Amino acid sequence: MIYVSTPADTNDVLPKNRLIFLAGGISNCVDWQKEVIDGLKAREEEFKYDWYILNPRCDSFDGLTAAGQVKWEYEYLNTADIFSMFFAGGESVQPICMYELGRYVEVFRKKYINWTERLVITCDEGYIRVDDVILQMHCVANDHSDFMNELVARINRPLTVKVEEYEKAIQSHIDGIAGAISYLERNSI
């Protein structure tokens, strides 16, 4: 079963493993997180264990401060089993996401032997900094050509925003997360 937790869910007691963090654009970005969550819930019968999706996008910020949001993200980015990063197309450059990409790819690289199996990075073709994402990934993953080939295959080149291309990117992201879950379940995380 798939469970979802946000920073507004302050009463949630989460397990120490089987955590998927949905990093990616929020401000001035479509609600891609909802589509990914719905897509994973539709496939939950494929998964052997319960998985917890950590979604930093909140519907309501009642009582949640910016500091509380940052603290929640920091804690769970550092404990997640799967790091999922989606760069949505549109006007937003998503600078915090670029920082998180560099930081947490490096955290995962140092923390896990199988770190490339735990990362799912996807760009919508309308994201204006696709080349920067590829360059940043080459800096940390240049000795992992299989990972880079898969990453580049999942990243669409920036052209114009097209609904069908966005949907393809979302489906690719869902497939990538499902693949990471399957890998970790087969290898007994």
Contact 108, 102 (CB under 8 A): no
Q: Hey, what are 17's tokens?
A: 């493993």
The span from the CA of 129 to the CA of 31, in Å, is 19
Taking 70 as the pLDDT cut, the residues of the chain under it are 10-12, 60-64, 141-164, 189
Contact 22, 36 (CB under 8 A): yes
Exposure string of 157-176, with b = 16+ CB inside 10 Å and e = fewer, is ebeebeeebbebbbebbbeb
* Count of helices and strands (H, E) across the chain: 6, 5
Contact 99, 87 (CB under 8 A): no
pLDDT in tens, 141-187: 665 556 656 655 555 433 222 335 888 888 888 988 998 999 899 98
pLDDT score, position 163:
36
User: CA torsion sign, 12 to 188 to 109 to 89?
Assistant: negative
3-class DSSP assignment, residue 55: coil
Instruction: Read off the amino acid at residue 181.
Output: I
Q: Model's pTM, two decimal places?
A: 0.85
